[in-house]
């Protein structure tokens, strides 16, 4: 694809975001677009490799190979190389419902399995995707696609996160009448409340919601199924239900002092920070703000990094991130060969910002909090930490340090039980909604499930894939009945 010798002629040149000193004083997006002439060269690096692992979309040995959406990446790169940007975007949309999201927030599983990446730096696939979305928007390609035929059947999608939106979009295009129920004040789920604005501008989410509404998808917010909306009424009114409620039960830190004011799950903190930006008049608890506080974050991953970046923008006095795991190697381990996703040491945008602002990486590996102490008013004032090796504490390494806000970013245990119990659904050993292998149909007829509620905590791109697959299975079921 592209230029046969391109991978020999051009080096990888990734887009550079807004300067750190500029971006940490606001919550505007930090992403930057690569110039078209540079992107043409980057697309030329695509190798015509015969077997393209970049779009394999497989899970192997607990990790991923390629894009779960099976995007036709070599074909897209070839069109970009030829300057056919509109055609490239249309090719991307054949498999991808929302490039505007993954072009900003996806860790780029495709790049981890790029054939060029076996011995060189991979093609800048994510940058190309981001550019195509922006180009499509600027040139008027992001227009509603209103279905011309309707089946007359009605489907309720529960949850408006990435899985719910992808499911609703696909079902709607297949001719079903879709209503999305969201218990929060705004639709978007994780995209709206879980991902900070500087990473994914909420105007981008609102734009897509608006397009979906014009295409015929209905949204009902403030609708907690099994809470203020009855499950029985939904089963009576709709021909099928698709559950996309996510895995929202956060893992807790079981140490003395974890109940003090100033200790919060990371998702609660991030939602609060976003609401301060987008909901006029919203203030939230005064203590749930990093301004002029020493912030301690327990856990790594995307969520921990987002907490680092958010705390910096709120004016934190200091930010420290504790990870109980050992620092990853700079290079792939023997048991993590290409084309598996590379489990190597990476420094993300929030950590880069902390390094520039405070002069050091905020992460302390093989370290965790063992106790949280408070003042006379029950507010956090300090934490005690200890070093670990292979998850075992090392005696004599105790340390106390000041803390005014402690954020728990240790992942999620699974979905909440309210809706699961109301429907009497079977669950698997991890508490996720159970289905047979390769299926999205639950133990209750006409009820399907997708996304984190089905597979456990995962990435947005996997949620998008599951939402589309569940929509196809739901549509096939309805067509038979």
| pLDDT one-digit tens code per residue, 300-359 | 999 999 999 999 999 999 999 999 999 999 999 999 999 999 999 999 999 999 999 999
**Res. 48 pLDDT band, cuts 50 70 90:** confident
pLDDT of residue 62: 81
Q: What is the mean pLDDT of the chain?
A: 96
The closest alpha carbon to 323, from 264, 371, 388, belongs to: 388
- List C-alpha distances in Å: 78 to 14, 44, 54, 153, 199: 18, 7, 14, 40, 28
Q: Is the pLDDT of residue 393 over 70?
A: yes
Same fold, 154-248+413-480 and 252-410: yes
DSSP three-state, residue 63: strand
In the chain, DSSP finds a helix count (H) and a strand count (E) of 17, 18
One of 1.20.210.10, 1.10.1060.10, 1.10.10.10, 3.40.640.10 is the CATH number of 6-138, namely 1.10.1060.10
Mean pLDDT of 15-27: 96
**Res. 188 pLDDT band, cuts 50 70 90:** very high
Q: Would you list the domain boundaries of the chain?
A: 6-138, 154-248+413-480, 252-410
Q: Is the pLDDT of residue 3 over 90?
A: no
The closest alpha carbon to 374, from 255, 293, 253, 259, belongs to: 259
pLDDT of residue 460: 97
Query: Are the CB atoms for 382 and 400 separated by under 8 Å?
Result: yes
d(C-alpha 386, C-alpha 393), whole Å: 7
Distance, CA of 27 to chain centre = 18
| pLDDT one-digit tens code per residue, 71-102 | 999 999 999 999 999 999 999 999 999 999 99
The CATH class, in words, for 252-410 is alpha beta
Q: Is the pLDDT of residue 63 over 90?
A: no
**Res. 60 pLDDT band, cuts 50 70 90:** confident
pLDDT of residue 1: 63
Count other C-beta atoms under 10 Å from residue 23's C-beta.
Answer: 21
The yes/no answer on whether domain 154-248+413-480 falls in CATH 3.40.1440.10 is no
């Amino acid at each position: 694809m592209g230029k046969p010798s391109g991978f020999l002629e051009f080096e990888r040149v990734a887009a550079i975001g807004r300067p750190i000193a500029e971006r940490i004083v606001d919550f505007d997006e930090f992403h930057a677009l690569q110039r078209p002439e540079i992107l043409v060269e980057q697309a030329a690096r695509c190798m015509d490799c015969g077997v393209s692992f970049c779009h394999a979309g497989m899970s192997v040995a607990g990790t991923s190979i390629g894009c779960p959406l099976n995007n036709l990446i070599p074909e897209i790169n070839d069109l970009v190389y030829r300057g056919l940007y509109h055609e490239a975007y249309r090719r991307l949309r054949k498999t991808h419902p929302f490039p505007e999201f993954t072009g900003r927030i996806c860790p780029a599983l495709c790049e981890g399995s790029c054939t060029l990446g076996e011995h060189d730096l991979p093609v800048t696939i994510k940058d190309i995707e981001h550019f195509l979305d922006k180009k499509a928007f600027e040139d008027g390609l992001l227009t509603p696609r209103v279905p011309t035929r309707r089946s007359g059947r009605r489907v309720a999608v529960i949850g408006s996160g990435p899985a719910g939106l992808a499911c609703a979009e696909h079902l709607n295009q297949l001719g079903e009448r879709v209503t999305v129920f969201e218990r929060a004040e705004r639709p978007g789920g994780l995209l709206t409340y879980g991902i900070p604005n500087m990473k994914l501008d909420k105007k981008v989410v609102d734009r897509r919601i608006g397009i979906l509404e014009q295409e015929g998808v209905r949204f009902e917010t403030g609708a907690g199924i099994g809470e203020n909306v009855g499950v029985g009424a939904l089963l009576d009114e709709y021909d099928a239900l698709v559950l996309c409620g996510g895995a929202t039960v956060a893992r807790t830190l079981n140490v003395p002092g974890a109940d003090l004011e100033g200790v919060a799950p990371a998702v609660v903190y991030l939602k609060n920070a976003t609401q301060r930006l987008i909901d006029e008049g919203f203030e939230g608890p005064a203590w749930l703000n990093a301004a002029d506080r020493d912030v301690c974050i327990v856990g790594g991953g995307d969520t921990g990094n987002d907490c680092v970046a958010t705390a910096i923008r709120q004016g934190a006095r200091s930010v420290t991130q504790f990870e109980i795991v050992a620092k990853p190697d700079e290079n792939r381990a023997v048991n993590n060969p290409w084309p598996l996703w590379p489990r190597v040491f990476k420094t993300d945008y929030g950590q880069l910002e902390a390094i520039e602002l405070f002069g050091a990486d905020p992460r302390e590996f093989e370290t965790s909090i063992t106790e949280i102490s408070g003042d006379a008013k029950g507010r956090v004032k300090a934490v005690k930490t200890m070093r670990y090796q292979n998850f075992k504490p090392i005696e004599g390494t105790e340390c106390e340090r000041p803390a005014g806000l402690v954020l728990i970013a240790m992942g999620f245990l699974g979905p909440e039980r309210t809706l699961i119990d109301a429907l009497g659904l079977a669950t698997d050993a991890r508490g996720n909604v159970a289905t047979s292998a390769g299926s999205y149909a639950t133990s209750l007829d006409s009820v399907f499930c997708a996304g984190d509620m089905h597979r456990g905590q995962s990435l947005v791109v996997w949620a998008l894939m599951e939402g589309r697959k569940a929509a196809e299975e739901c549509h096939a079921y309805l067509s038979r009945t």
